[in-house]
Amino acid sequence: MTAKLKTLLMAGTVLGMANVAMAQDLAPLNSDEEPDRMEWSELDARFGELPAPEAGTAVGGVSKTLTNEYWRSLGEGYENLAQEYDVKFAYQAAPSEGDQLGQLSIAENMILQGYDALLFSPQTDNNLQPALETARAQGIPVLNVNDAVIPSVEHYVGNVQRDNGVRVAQWFIDNTEGGKLAVIEGQPGVFAAGQRTDGFTSTIEEAEGFEVVASVPANWSREQAYDAASTILQQHPDLIGFYANNDGMALGVVEAVKNAGLQEQVAVFGTDGISDAYASIRAGDLTGTVDSFPVLTGEVAMEVALRLVAGQDLPRVVATPQALITADNIEQYAVEDTAALRDTLLAQ
């Protein structure tokens, strides 16, 4: 072994030990409540313009799956900023949202390819933990981007998950006189699913005249959501509404409500703001969705990753925006130009 190689290996070991020590000092992350946080709109004001990345800078993105439009849109946002700053970018995902080992394998392979930063959107709160530890030991910044949360991750970008459910619950409080409600949950054990469900149920339980009569997981699956909603409607034909933890499941619920002939009685809300949800709202089927603006979120996440590569000391959480979309305001947010969307959100 040459002296130079020995020095590099020793330096890498010291860096890895330092990173592990720093991670051990971090409290398990609750991205909704983490006090070390800032809003996406404050980046330039607090840290200046994004420094120009060094030539050859490369960033890798690991998504949950590309079968869900939300994650494709997130990747579009990553790519937008990567192209703007001439950054090499690769985006890969597991074939399904339930392939935890497949996603871990993708993440580990990306680490071997020598990216300067990695963007992780884990399928569960724990399945990419081994890859995070490997990247940390090699000094590679890892940014957790929506919606499962790795407890020991140092940096996170995403919206306030609990607020998704709170906003939908508040719509029912403001627009109905009470009644029975049901929740279609995402994947058990995933931070976002738990927070969205708790935000909805706890807010509704504080109001008078409402009862959550069912709350069941459908694992982000439209088909499973259809089956669950059909059963719930048979058991509770007087139900007045559903809240689903994502839009795919909400669209499955809409089908079940239609088949039961209860469109005029049962309101249905989803989460994410995918194009099919917007189309369903315009058609008068889906009542609403909480849009977390995935393309914009991807742009913000890529910016944060590049700032970390540049050595900036950012807060642990950078919070991204969301809005409750219904027929009343859909045209205000139905814009493909993220620059125009930024202006709309900043004006709120």
Round to whole Å and give the CA distance between 126 and 128.
6
Per residue in 38-77, pLDDT (tens digit) is: 999 999 999 999 999 999 999 999 999 999 999 999 999 9
pLDDT of res. 15: 38
Enclosing domain of residue 62 = 3-156+295-319
Residue 268 near residue 311 (C-beta atoms within 8 A): no
27 and 48 part of one domain: yes
The CATH number given to whatever domain includes residue 303 is 3.40.50.2300
Would 198 be classed as within a structural domain?
A: yes
pLDDT of res. 2: 33
- Under-70 pLDDT residues of the chain: 1-24
Residue 183 exposure: Cα atoms within 13 Å on the Cβ side? 27
121 and 177 part of one domain: no
Helix (H) or strand (E) run with residue 97 in it: none
Helix (H) or strand (E) run with residue 218 in it: none
pLDDT of res. 9: 32
Would 325 be classed as within a structural domain?
A: no
207 and 285 part of one domain: yes
Would 344 be classed as within a structural domain?
A: no
pLDDT of res. 7: 35
pLDDT of res. 25: 76
- Going by C-alpha positions, the residue among 20, 254, 42 that lies closest to residue 137 is 20
pLDDT of res. 257: 98
Would 335 be classed as within a structural domain?
A: no
User: What's the domain count of the chain?
Assistant: 2
pLDDT of res. 133: 98
**Token reading at 124:** 């569960």
Round to whole Å and give the CA distance between 316 and 313.
9
**Token reading at 255:** 């089908």
Q: Is the pTM of this model over 0.85?
A: yes
pLDDT of res. 124: 95
